[in-house]
Amino acid sequence: MSMKHLYSKGDRRFVLINSILIGIFTLSTLYPFIYITSLSFSSGFAARAGTVVLTPIDTTIEAYKYVLAQPMFWISYKNTFLYTILGTLMSLIIIIPGSYALSRPQLKGRRFWNLVVAFTMWFNAGLIPFFLNMRDLGLLDSYFGIIIGFAVNGFNIILLRNFFEGIPQSFEEAARMDGANEFQVLWKVYVPLSKPAIATVSLFCIVARWNGFFWAMVLLQDEQKIPLQVFLRHTISTLSDDNEFGASLVDATYSAETVTAAIIVCSIIPILIIYPFIQRYFEKGILLGGVKE
């Protein structure tokens, strides 16, 4: 469809209007981020007065100074990194071999095992039994509980399993005839051949870990263990509720709004850094896991 010059007048008008509409939608997606960034660099006074619309007013980095001076910001940031890295590794260590086994035709009871996985996607015991189970396992308020408790999900297993199934069986057979055992077949042949799928799953894990909030809030009491999202939520709600804090900041160079904005910017940055890598994979990955028997 690169015969642009062949388009009729009507077609050209259609394409133009369409582009404008797409442009508007794109800008409306982008605008909140621009607004928050500008807010974070504006003075507290300007923010309170509601004069920030597009660009920073009375540009200042005081809000960031305030955020970065909070010891809890750094503790929770460190915790989030910990949960993200260890949690993702835990997920991969468990589900790569599991999905591989589920993809092998010689596995006895393969239909049953696949059903065991799929059933968890259809039926969920719900918040309370999960919570009580974590408590019974002694995993409340524990680093390990967060890391292990959310390591596996059916969608990622099925995504990987489907990818493994797409690799011709003869790769496994050739490797076995060459003397490889199953672990070697997986590690030396199937894992290298499945890099795109494994990257997709890793990135889903990373994003889920980085953004994970609800269960961290429910399961963790100890402030020293909370991840960034919980700290973020805590700070945002304290700042917006605490009128005294707000009032005391009216004359200052930062305000509840600019501080909130600054924390938001700080916690988005890592996602923005890995986003280009995610993007390369997730379009395919989504479809891999989505529709297939």
Partner 1 sequence: MSDATGPNQENGEGLVAHLIDHFKKEWQLYVMLLPTIAWLVVFLYKPMYGLQIAFKDYSIFRGISGSPWVGFEHFETLFQSEQFIRALKNTVIISFYTLIFGFPVPIFLALMFNEVLNRWFKKTSQTIVYLPHFISSVIIAGIVMTAFSPSAGIINTFLGWFGVEPIYFLTKPEWFRPIFIGTGIWQEAGFQSIVYLAAIAGVSPTLYESAVVDGASRWQMMWKITLPSILPTIIIMLIIRIGNILEVSFEMIILLYQPATYETADVVNTFIYRQGIQGGQYDLAAAAGLFNAVVAFVLVISANTISKRFSRTSLW
Partner 2 sequence: MPGVRLDGIVKKYGAVQVVHGIDLVVEEGEFVVLVGPSGCGKSTTLRMIAGLEDISGGSLTIDERVMNSVAPKDRDVAMVFQNYALYPHLNVADNIAFGLRIRKESKDKIASAVEEVAGILGLTPYLERRPADLSGGQRQRVAMGRAIVRRPKVFLFDEPLSNLDAKLRTQMRAEIKRLHNRLGATSIYVTHDQVEAMTLADRIVVMHDGRIEQIGSPMDLFLNPANTFVAGFLGSPPMNMFTATVVAGPNGPVAEFHGQSLELPNLDALEIGSEITLGVRPEFVQLNDDPNAPGVKVDVDLVETLGSEALIHATLNGSPFVIRTETISRAPSNAAQQSFTIAPELLRIFDVETGVALPGQEVAVPENAA
Interacting residues with partner 1 between 10 and 29 (CB under 8 A): 10-11, 14-15, 18-19, 21-23, 25-26, 28-29
Q: Among partner 2, partner 1, none, what does residue 140 contact (CB within 5–8 Å per kind)?
A: none
Q: Return d(Cα 52, Cα 46) in angstroms, integer.
A: 7
User: Per CB under 8 A, does 179 bind partner 2?
Assistant: yes
- Compute the least distance from the CB of residue 236 to partner 2, in Å: 46
**Site for partner 1, residues 42 to 61, rule: CB under 8 A:** 47-53
The interface with partner 1 within residues 260-279 (CB under 8 A) comprises: 260-261, 263-264, 267-268, 271, 275, 278-279
**Residue 114 near residue 105 (C-beta atoms within 8 A):** no
Q: Which residues have C-beta within 8 Å of that of residue 68, sequence separation ≥ 6?
A: 74, 266
* Minimum CB–partner distance for residue 173 and partner 2 (Å): 5
Binders of partner 1 among residues 145 to 204 (CB under 8 A) are 148-149, 151-152, 157-158, 181-183, 186
28, interface contact from partner 1, partner 2, none, CB < 5-8 Å by kind: partner 1
- Residue number with CB closer to partner 1 (33 or 74): 33
DSSP 76-130: HHHHHHHHHHHHHHHHHHHHHHHHHHHH-TTSTTHHHHHHHHHHHHH----HHHH
Count, residues near partner 2 per rule CB under 8 A: 16
Q: How far is the CB of 215 from partner 1 (least distance, A)?
A: 10
Rule CB under 8 A: is residue 168 a binding residue for partner 2? yes
Please give the C-alpha separations between residue 14 and each of 6, 8, 21, 60, 270, in angstroms, as whole numbers.
14, 10, 11, 44, 39
Is residue 175 involved in binding partner 2 (CB under 8 A)? yes
Which segment (67-75, 129-137, 163-171, 191-199) binds partner 1 by CB under 8 A? Answer: 129-137
Q: How many CB atoms lie within 10 A of CB 30?
A: 10
The residue range among 75-83, 133-141, 154-162, 164-172 that interacts with partner 2, by the rule CB under 8 A, is 164-172
Site for partner 2 contains 193 (CB under 8 A): yes
148: Cα separation from own chain's centroid: 17
Query: Which residues 6+ apart lie within 8 Å of 242 measured at CB?
Result: 256
Decide which of partner 2, partner 1, none touches 188; Cβ closer than 5 to 8 Å per partner kind: partner 2
Q: Of these, 131, 165, 196, 245, which contacts partner 1 (CB under 8 A)?
A: 131
Q: Which whole-number Å values give the CA distances from 273 to 36, 126, 265, 266, 278, in the listed order? A: 18, 34, 12, 12, 10
DSSP characters for 33-81?
HHHHHHHHTS-HHHHHHT--SSS-SS---HHHHHHHT-HHHHHHHHHHH
Report if residue 122 touches partner 1, rule: CB under 8 A.
yes
Contact residues: partner 2, CB under 8 A: 168, 170-171, 173-180, 184, 188-189, 192-193
